[in-house]
Every structure is written in structure tokens, then in C-alpha cells.
Structure 1
Amino acid sequence: VTALFSIVACGGSGSSPTSPSPYVLPTSAAISTPLASIIGIQLHEEPPPGLTVTNLAVSAAATTLAVGQTTTVTATATYSDGTTATVTPTWSSTNSYSVTVTSEGVVTAITTASFAGEDVGVVGSATSGINAIYGGQNAQINITVTPATVTGVTINTSSASLSVGQTTTVTATATYTDGTTPTVSPTWVSSNTAVATVSSSGTVTTVAAGSATITGVYEGQSDSVGITVTAAIPTVTGITVSASTSSLQAGQTATVTATATYSDGTTVTVASTWSSSDTAVATVSSSGTVTAVAAGSATITGAYEGQSDSAGITVPLAVTNLEVCCFTTLTPGQTTTVTATATYSDGTTATVTPIWSTSGTGYSVTVNSEGLVTAITTASFAGEDVGVIGASYTGIRANYGGQTHQINMKVIPCDGCRDW
């Protein structure tokens, strides 16, 4: 600074230089002109000495702001000597409720309302003046405040990796000039609807393996999220449990199997987790072998991948005795019905359906599964001379619950009868 002032002091108007006058550094109180003006920066906080401000003009980088936006205002003074300079005036707002301005000229749009309580929902915009005072001059520029605008949109998804057939949801958050970030409802579009579609509410449904980009557009802003779809892994939709038999005697065994049905329609025999509802009646192993323990009923359940099914197992009372009724004498062609009565371990009796059979060759008498006995001939075998046979005997045998009993059927000849 000293050197600068020395050069100023040496300057002269003639062709011959004059001797420099000694320079005395002035005190701060003696410097009436700001240093920035002295060194050529045209930023005046006060008018230069000897000059007056004849005009003041205010300009703004932007005169229309959305709520939350800012701009800068500048003031330019015209002096009495015709020169101009950017100056630092005293700034003020005609409505600081709507627009504020700092001492540096930074203008911020606060609201479209002109006063507290005004319903901004019905106010389209608000205009406030930014006023500058400098050197006895006053100037103003109007700033119009409009509702906050969207500066960006952010898209999110609950899942970006899905299997065919699955769904996910995309959401959109808008960022406004006033800093708020509400969730909004944009227009949704998929880049590849053969892979994934998107509904107006943001539900993404996968169609086939591949990739798709889901884009949301809102008030001129957009964002996207990628969706990757892999081939569907078949899932179990149900299982069916079956037993090799549903009735067992105590000590007997059976096998249960489980068949799973998958979402793609295929069926596979699977190793389920087995359990018995009453292990005092029947137990089941991990491999599906059911063992009857005592009389009663039990339910065998198979569970596999969240699905289950059951099969009932009945263990009847032990049969302690079996009686077949009744002995009959028949002639060829006649029929009769035999019955079987079982006696159980608890002393009760019941007519049962046993397995019926005949002893020997069954040539002279037959019996069907319902116990119907038919006399065929008095002969015991093919070729036997029935003319010399008075009668024949054939055993009718019943087998049930581990017990067997037999009675003999007598076939006798009759006058005028023929062998059947």
C-alpha cells in the first residue's frame, strides 16, 4: 500500500518530474475513501469524496422464484461525474413474510402467502419488492414467488431381484425447491413388459426371466430402478399321503408315502417328516414304516415344505376265536350261505367277512367271497363214478384276524338230480 501511495504522490502534470514529497501514512480516520475504491475495485460502501449519487439501479439474477429458491440482487450507482460502480446498499424487503434479503443481497423465496394465515392453496403467486438505499438514492426490483417446484424424483423398490411370478412395489419421492420430500404418484413405465410390467399404482409383476427398468415420471422429473427376474423355482403346492393298508393287526406293519405336487404341475415322491397322532396305537419311523401297537385308531401325518396330509390307520382288537356256521347237507345244484363270527380280546363278538376257501380240490363244492356255497357233485374229483358214491364231504374254511375255522359240507345224491 505504501508503494502504491508513493507512485500516486510522484505523479505530475508537466514533462519534468518534480521531487517527491515525503509520504506520511494516514491514520484510519483520515482515509475517507474505501481501500477497494482506491485500488480499482468498483464496490462502494459509501460514495467517493466529492461525488454524489445521481441514480441507483437494482438488478436480479432471477425475478421469479419458486418457494425455497434463492437469487442475488445487485445495485449499481451513477455518480455526479458520470461514472458507475457496483455498490453495497442497505437492502430491505417490502414483505419479508414472503421474501427475505440479506445484507449481501441474497434473496430467498419463503412463501406465496403475503401474510400469516393466508391460504396458500388458493394463492397462485406473490410479489414483493426488494429495496436498495444508497447515497440518498432509492431503487426497487420486484420478485415474484411461485409455489415450490419439483427439482428431482427418487425411485425405490422393495425388491430388485425376483423370480418369475413374484411381485414387488416401486415408490417415488419428489424433492421440492422448499426442501420437502413427499411421496408422490408418478406415471410408471417398464422398459421391457415381456420381463416385468408395472401398474399405475406401482405394483411390478414379473413375467419372464430377464431385466427391465421401471421408470417413474413426475412433473418433468424422472428416476429409474432396475429389476432382475430369474426363472421361477417350482414350489410345493400340496402333498398327498397314502398308506399301503389302512387296517393292521397289532404287530403288523404298513408303509406310508408322500407325493408332493409342485407349482409347475409336476409330482414327486418326497421324504416327509412323519408323525403319529397316537403312538400307543401305531408308531411311524422316519422312513414311513407304520407299526401297529394296540387296538385303536391313529392318524399318520406327513409334512413337507409347509404342506401336509394324513392317512388313518385302524388297529382292530385281536381275534381270539373264529366260528363258521353252519353245517349243511346239500344235493347237487343247491346253495347255502355260511357266516363267520369272531370273538375279540375284549370278549365281544361280531359277524365278520373272512377269506373263504374250500379244502381239497373244491371239485364237489365251491364258495365265493360272500360265503355263498354251491354243491356241484358228489364226486370228489373228475372221473370219479358218482353212481357208487353215497355222499362226499368238503371243508369250507374261513380265515380272519389270524384265526381259522372250518366246517364240512355234505353233498348227497338225489333221485332225478344231475350233477351241476
Structure 2
Amino acid sequence: MQLNSLKRHMSIFFATGIAMASLCEANAATPPPPGSPPEALVIGVEISGPLTVDEGQTASYQCTASYTDGTFHPVDAVWSTSSAGADINSLGVLSANNVNTDQDVAITASFSGFLDSYDITVKFVAPVLTSIEIEGPSALDEETPAQFSCVANYSDGSSVAVDPVWSLDSAHASISSTGLLTANDVLSDQSVLISARFGELSDSQTVSIRYVPPVQTSLSIIGPAGVTEGSTAQYLCMAYYSDGTSALIDPAWTVSPSYASISATGLLTANNVTADQSVSVSASYGGQIKSLAVAIGYVAPTLASIQVAGASSVDEQDSTQYTCKAFYSDGTSATVSPIWSVSPSYASISSAGLLTANNVTADQSVNVTASYGGQTKSRSVAINYIPALTSLVIEGPSLVEELTNGVLFTCAAVYDDDSSEVVESVVWSGNSSGSSISAAGDLSVGNLVADEILNITASFDGITVSQEIMLKAVGTRVFYPLSNVHDSQVRAELWIWDEIAQTHHLVEEISNPEELVLEGLDPDRWYWLVVEEYNELSGQWETLHTSGWVNM
């Protein structure tokens, strides 16, 4: 029974607890243990703190909770703000942002299901100028500009470009009211100090002016625009630099085409031309090239002299050619057609310069004269008298024995001045069955049966002369004496020509005879005799005599 009663009271307690839980759900407090006093519950929250905060500043706010037991306590609430004018952290510290005008901000705190809102104003605070700063390059080349600017820094952390008052402490540069710095020409690196003033504040910056060695910018050629052929002209070259200076320099000179040449010092020599021409004179220096067109003027050459060329002598009744060469002021020459004349009348000359010598009775001299372009030139020419051929004379033996070869006959020409000379271009004749005469006048006589008379003739320059020669038959005879070779081995061979077989045969071979006698030979046959001597040093047979083919 007591147990049931306990159960009932427990049911009532739980029922009561459920009811209390529904009333205090927002506090979510754990019920106190039986017999302890009830815990105080939050019944509201309230925010406290400054109503205004300057932009860029901070302020602390507090959330206080009120309880059922009539007490108030600070609590850690969840904080938030209603706009971008300010931010608040979890500790209730508010940071006012920069604003352009005063801006209202609602602060909210939440704790144990209770909220409180607190309206504050973020106050706009006009910024204060704190510093200025020059911006621009720290160095620039001489004679170049550079733009500088000035930035003002304010208490609110902002920066803006401003137009200060610019100044400069050096004559090596200048600066405009807009901050454009222009570096002057300097001889070495320099430093200048530029200053800017804005309001009550100022700033300075040191700027280096760099010396820049001058750079060659262009070339020019100085000299005449025209030169006559065969003359010279001097040319110069000027170099211009980036600093405005200039100077005469020694470039590499060239000229084209080849109507002129130019020296290393710029002296132009115009060549001879046949008409006006143009050349390009070029100067190269420092990687740059400058050219100048120069006219080469043609100058018509003048006749300086003439010269007659040709033989210094001519035989009577003969002809020879003469020419005339003209020499001009430009060094050129040419063969020309002058007016020809000759005197005295031992010769005549054609308009083309062909001189023909007349008949003379003795050596004479004439003057050949050429006239051209106002110039006259003469040349002395000898006319050679040529004696007339009157007769021929055959010279040689009047008697020739049989079996004789190589008897030379000559022909002498006799002239009307009683002079004579042996002539070469003679036509010989006078052959017989046992003899013959060559074109050179050599008579060969073969084997004869009896004595004969041979009539030989010589013809030269239209004249013919004859002469009788006795050909003597001597019978058996010594053909070749060997008395001068007694100390040597000697041999002889006699060969005969076979007309039918058209070949030759050895008739007889004789060794070491004292003399060689031939007899009983057929006069109608051809024989060949060879005599040889043995050379002890060389071990060879050497020919002493060979007759050739002869009639014995």
C-alpha cells in the first residue's frame, strides 16, 4: 500500500514536472533537486553602451539579463548589426567603419531566447591631412622628360592625388607646375632635389640625371654634285650626334658604277666617258651609310696629233699599205681616213693609203703625207731600185763519170747592172736512161754502156738556160777503196732488185777486203751496195757507205 502511494505521488510529480517544463521551456533550466530552492529564470535582456561612435573608432557594448528572482547579470550574448556602417564581434566590441555621412546602426543581442535592439549613430568625421608623398622615377637620362605626381595621405587612411607647388634646387633640370621634370644636357651624372608643397606639408625626392654619351644620328656628304670626265673632286663626310653636335669624320668611301674611282680620303677621280653618266658616292661610318648622286660630265675630246704607220721602204713596182691614227685629248686613239698625198712622183698613193712605187733607175725617196682635222703628218719612204734579170748561167762540172751520185749544179742570175747571184727557185730538167737531176740540182749517173751527152736546163723567172754535160763510161772500176780501214773488220753487201718479184736479194757478202771492185754487172739492173765497219767498243756494225739504188 505504501508502494502504490509512492507511485501515485511520483506520477503527480512527473505530471507537475511536465507542466513546469512547458512553462520554463525557454529557460531550459535543469530542475533543482528535491528540497533545494527554485533556480532564478531569465525573463529579459537589455543592451547598454554609447549611443554614438566616430567612424574608424571602436566602442564596447554590454548585454544584461534580468531574472525571476529580481537580479540582473551581464551575459555573453550573440551580437549583430543591421548595416555596413559598423561591425561587432562576439565580445560586444563595435568597430565603426568609414562613412561619408552620419549613419544609423541597430545593434542586436540575443541570449536564452530573448532579444534586445539598440540604435546608435556612426558619426562621420572629416579626415585630416597627415602627409604628402612624391611619386616618380629616381633617375632619368639627360635631355629627357619624366612626369612626377604627389599623393596626399589622410587620417582616415585614404590617399588622393593632389596638385602641389613644385620646386627644384638645380640648374641641371626644370620642373613645370604640373610636375613634368625635364633633364638638361649634362657633362656627367648629376643629382637634383625636387620638392612638393601641399597645404602645410611638403616632401622631397632626389633624382639622378644620367649623362648619355651622344649617339650618331645621321651622316651627310659634302662635295660637288657634278665632275667633268678626267678631273678630280674632294668629298668630305659630316657626322651628326644626338646632343646636337657634329664633326668631320673619315668614313669608308665607295663609288659605283665604275665611271669613277674614289680614294680612302674621299678624292674622286672621274674616268673618261663617252656620254654624260651618273655615279653614287657612298660614305659608311658608325653603322650608317650616306650616298650622294654625282654627275660625270662628258667632254668631247679634241684632236691632239696624228701618226702615219707603214713600211719605211718599198721595192719599185711594188705596193704597200699605209694607215693614219688620230690621238685625242682624252688619251684615246682611232684609225682615221685622212687625205693622202706623196711627192715626188716616184710613187702614187690611193685615197685608202695604198702606195704603189713606180719604176726607178736608182734608189729614191718620197714623202707620204696624211692630212686630217687640221693636222698634217709626213713619213719618208725609200723606193728601192730592183735590177732587171737579163740571163741565167748554169754552174757545175762539164764531165761526170758513170756511177757518180750527188753532183751539184747551181744557177746564177745575171742582172742589167752586171750583178749576179745564185738563185734557189730553179726548175731543173735533163734526165736520161742512165742519169737524173733532182729539183735541187743534184745529178746522179748510173752504169753507162758508152759515153753520153746530157743536156740539162734551168728555168727561173721566165728565162731558161741549157748546158751540155759529158757522161763518161769508165767500165770496170774500184767503187769504194778500203785502204783507210785496214785496222778494222769490214764487210760489204751487194743487193739486187728483182723487178718481177718486186723484192731485193743479197748477191754477195765480202769480209775484210782491201778494196771493193765491181765488174760484170748488168747495166739494166738496179744494185744497192752497203759497206760496214765493226765498232769494238759498242760491239755493233756501223755503216761506212750506202749507195742507194743505182744502175751499175
**TM-score of the superposition, structure 1-length normalised?**
0.45
- Kindly indicate whether structure 1 or structure 2 has the higher relative contact order, using CA contacts under 8 Å at least 6 residues apart: 1
Highest Rg: 1 or 2?
Answer: 2
Which protein has the bigger strand share? 2
